[in-house]
């Protein structure tokens, strides 16, 4: 299993090279930017759905004011995020964009198994949770974690949920490595998880 | 692991050479099935993510059905802005006895009811940034009323601090604000064991209030009913475990909850100031 995870600088270089090469194509670079922006928007708006529903989608505000409210949800444009949280959310969104562009490339140019793509989804899902956390504090984790029965544990995260963003970054980096590995060899060579039924 | 043929490896080997490989030749057997599986997985997980993460705020407009749930509506309010007033909104309960800045919240052109926890880091940022700016501008102009409801849902020491805040309000509502500011300024240094002791020291040094009496009331939770009322109000309003949450009202009519340490611009826009 250890050999299927990035273990050294060489592995990071392979993943970085794959990202760079795919993103030199304008179509995939555009896709990456759009995916990153979309991911970031989902991350930041997911913590304020009622506001979006009441004041952005409906309500008495002018179109300009609605856009202002949306703009103010983004890191460094508004004040919902501290510096570290903002950087983490942007990093997750950027990685998600690059990762999804790689997935699109792999889907179009090669074949890609479900389990290999799953790493991207884990990153995106963790990004949603982590972004909300950064915005609203670790209290949000209580609600999310209560579904998992571990709220007491999560409440005591020393960085108030920033850990989830770090996990999202890690998941996306590993996923990028797997996809890059697959691009390199034309196979699903990196996934360490043996999904039932796969051979 | 899926096996690949030599030709598959050859047609994709360009990536390692500095060239992304081009699509070419027939797709290996099972490729389309794998792709379908991936797309299904993408759709399934996306649905779960949307339902689980975004769905927190997607409650029905009549939204009391989430009240009392452990996680609550993490989006801070499933209620729709359908003409509900401050008098009838859950966060308007017992509002007259809560500390406020500016005019009477029931008569003000704009009202902000804030649920926050003294131990919540983003609450501190919100108080020190946005609320301070609003206080200097719109509160000073008499067009905005800001009402605070201590809503201890984060760390344990925040609940003790909330009891001390309520005991302070009982004696002198004006002393609430500097004590809250003290909690936010020194937030990282409090623990459950030290917060009341340090509160007593601060009250003694900075006010003429009966510090021992306030701390005794906090220890005995004399005003627990007030905190319980706010917790119930937050639950009924869909705040759940989120702090800070700001409920916005224009001319007494509910507009929306806003989660997190929203910017001054966002609050001004929501309140049409």
Share of chain B above pLDDT 70, in %: 70
Q: What is the mean pLDDT of residues A6-12?
A: 79
Q: What is the pLDDT of residue B160?
A: 96
Q: What is the pLDDT of residue A44?
A: 84
| CA A57/CA A180 separation, integer angstroms | 40
| CA B164/CA B168 separation, integer angstroms | 6
DSSP characters for A73-88?
TSTTTSSSS-HHHHHH
The partner residues of B114 in beta bridges, in order of sequence, read B148, B246
ipTM score? 0.72
B contacts of A80 (beta carbons < 8 Å): 122, 260-263
B contacts of A125 (beta carbons < 8 Å): 45, 48-49, 53
CB contact under 8 A, A142 and B49: no
Evaluate if residue B237 carries a pLDDT over 70: yes
Q: What is the pLDDT of residue A162?
A: 65
Pick from A68, A151, A186: which is nearest to B269 by CB?
A68
CB contact under 8 A, A111 and B3: no
Pick from A65, A79, A187: which is nearest to B129 by CB?
A79
Strands (E), B135-191: 144-150
CB contact under 8 A, A50 and B8: no
Structural domain that includes position A176 = 16-46+81-185
3-state secondary structure of B150: strand
Of the two residues A122 and B101, the one the predictor is more confident about is B101
Burial of A141 (0-12, 13-18, 19+ CB in 10 A): buried
> How many CB atoms lie under 10 A from the CB of residue B225?
11
Share of chain B above pLDDT 90, in %: 63
Least confident of A112-126, B155-169, B178-192: A112-126
Sign of CA dihedral A101, A107, A112, A115: positive
Evaluate if residue B45 carries a pLDDT over 50: no
Reported as a pLDDT band with limits 50, 70 and 90, residue A110 is: low
Extents of the domains making up chain B: 6-52, 61-270
Share of chain A above pLDDT 90, in %: 21
CB contact under 8 A, A185 and B259: no
Least confident of A32-41, B76-85, B217-226: B76-85
CB contact under 8 A, A124 and B11: no
Pick from B19, B27, B258: which is nearest to A48 by CB?
B258
Q: What is the pLDDT of residue B223?
A: 95
User: Could you tell me whether strands B144-150 and B253-259 are parallel, antiparallel, or unpaired per DSSP bridges?
Assistant: unpaired
Q: Which of B121, B116, B103, B47 is nearest to B252 (CA)?
A: B103
CB contact under 8 A, B153 and A142: yes
Least confident of A52-66, B24-38, B107-121: B24-38
Average pLDDT of chain B, as a whole number: 78
Evaluate if residue B233 carries a pLDDT over 70: yes
Evaluate if residue B95 carries a pLDDT over 70: yes
Q: What is the mean pLDDT of residues A118-131?
A: 52
Of the two residues B17 and B272, the one the predictor is more confident about is B272
3-state secondary structure of A57: helix
Q: How many domains does chain A have?
A: 1
Evaluate if residue A111 carries a pLDDT over 70: no
Least confident of A87-101, B175-189, B240-254: A87-101
Of the two residues A26 and A183, the one the predictor is more confident about is A26
Residue A196 within a domain: no
DSSP state, residue B248: E
> Would you say A91 and A169 are in contact if contact means Cβ atoms under 8 Å apart?
yes
Pick from B40, B243, B262: which is nearest to A78 by CB?
B262
* Closest residue in B to A116 (Cα–Cα): B38
Q: What is the pLDDT of residue B69?
A: 33
How many Cβ pairs closer than 8 A exist between chain A and B?
244
Q: What ranges in B13-126 are assigned the alpha helix state H?
A: 31-52, 121-126
Least confident of A25-34, A75-84, A139-148, B196-205: A139-148
Q: What is the pLDDT of residue B22?
A: 37
Residue A113 within a domain: yes
The continuous run of DSSP H or E covering A174 comes out as helix A162-185
A contacts of B90 (beta carbons < 8 Å): none
Q: What is the pLDDT of residue A43?
A: 80
B contacts of A111 (beta carbons < 8 Å): 27-28, 30-31, 34-35
Evaluate if residue A77 carries a pLDDT over 90: yes
B23 Rama sector, left if φ>0, alpha if ψ -120 to 50, beta otherwise: beta
* Closest residue in B to A63 (Cα–Cα): B269
Pick from A50, A112, A143: which is nearest to B241 by CB?
A143
| CA B214/CA B201 separation, integer angstroms | 11
Q: What is the pLDDT of residue A81?
A: 85
The domain defined by B61-270 carries CATH number 3.40.50.970: no
Q: What is the pLDDT of residues B147-170, one digit of tens each?
A: 999 999 888 899 999 999 999 999
Q: What is the pLDDT of residue A155?
A: 53
Reported as a pLDDT band with limits 50, 70 and 90, residue B82 is: low
Least confident of A13-22, A92-101, B41-50: B41-50
A contacts of B66 (beta carbons < 8 Å): none
| CA A85/CA A90 separation, integer angstroms | 9
B263 Rama sector, left if φ>0, alpha if ψ -120 to 50, beta otherwise: beta
Evaluate if residue A153 carries a pLDDT over 90: no
Please give, rounded to a whole number of angstroms, the shortest distance from the CA of A156 to a CA of chain B. Answer: 8
Reported as a pLDDT band with limits 50, 70 and 90, residue B135 is: very high
Q: What is the pLDDT of residues A157-186, one digit of tens each?
A: 556 566 666 776 777 777 777 777 766 554
b (16+ CB within 10 A) / e for A54-82: bbbeebebeeebbebbbebbbbebbbbbb
């Amino acid at each position: 299993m250890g050999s299927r995870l990035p273990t050294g600088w060489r592995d990071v270089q392979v993943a970085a090279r794959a990202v760079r090469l795919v993103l030199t194509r304008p179509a995939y670079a555009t896709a990456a930017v759009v995916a990153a922006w979309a991911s970031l928007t989902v991350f930041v708006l997911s913590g304020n759905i009622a506001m979006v529903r009441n004041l952005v989608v409906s309500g008495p505000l002018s179109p300009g004011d609605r856009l202002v409210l949306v703009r103010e949800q983004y890191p460094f444009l508004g004040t919902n995020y501290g510096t570290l949280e903002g950087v983490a959310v942007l990093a997750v969104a950027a990685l998600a964009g690059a990762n999804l562009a790689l997935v699109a490339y792999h889907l179009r140019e090669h074949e890609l198994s479900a389990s290999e793509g799953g790493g991207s989804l884990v990153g995106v899902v963790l990004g949603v949770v982590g972004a909300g956390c950064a915005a609203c504090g670790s209290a949000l984790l209580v609600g999310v974690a209560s579904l998992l029965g571990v709220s007491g544990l999560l409440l005591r995260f020393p960085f108030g949920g920033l850990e989830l963003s770090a996990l999202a970054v890690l998941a996306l980096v590993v996923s990028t490595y797997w996809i890059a590995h697959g691009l390199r060899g034309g196979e699903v060579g990196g996934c360490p998880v043996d999904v039932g039924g796969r051979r | 692991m899926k096996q690949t043929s030599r030709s598959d490896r050859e047609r994709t080997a360009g990536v390692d050479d500095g060239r992304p490989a081009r699509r070419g030749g027939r797709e290996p057997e099972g490729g389309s099935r794998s792709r379908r599986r991936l797309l299904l997985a993408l759709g399934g997980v996306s649905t779960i993510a949307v339902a689980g993460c975004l769905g927190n705020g997607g409650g029905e407009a009549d939204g009391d059905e989430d009240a009392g749930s452990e996680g609550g509506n993490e989006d801070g309010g499933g209620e729709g802005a359908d003409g509900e007033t401050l008098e009838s909104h859950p966060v308007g309960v017992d509002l007259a006895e809560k500390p406020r800045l500016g005019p009477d919240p029931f008569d003000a052109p704009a009202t902000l009811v804030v649920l926050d926890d003294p131990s919540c880091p983003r609450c501190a940022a919100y108080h020190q940034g946005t609320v301070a700016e609003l206080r200097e501008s719109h509160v000073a102009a008499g067009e905005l009323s800001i009402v605070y409801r201590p809503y201890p849902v984060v760390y344990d020491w925040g609940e003790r601090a909330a009891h001390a805040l309520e005991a302070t309000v009982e004696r002198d509502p004006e002393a609430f604000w500097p004590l809250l500011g003290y909690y936010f300024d020194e937030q990282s240094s409090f623990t459950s064991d030290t917060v009341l002791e340090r509160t007593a020291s601060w009250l003694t040094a900075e006010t003429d209030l009966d510090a021992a009496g306030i701390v005794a009331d906090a220890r005995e939770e004399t005003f627990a009913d007030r905190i319980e009322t706010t917790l119930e109000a937050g639950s009924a309003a869909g705040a759940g475990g989120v702090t800070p949450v700001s409920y916005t009202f224009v001319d007494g009519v509910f507009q929306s909850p806003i989660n997190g340490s929203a910017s001054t611009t966002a609050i001004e826009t929501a309140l049409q100031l």
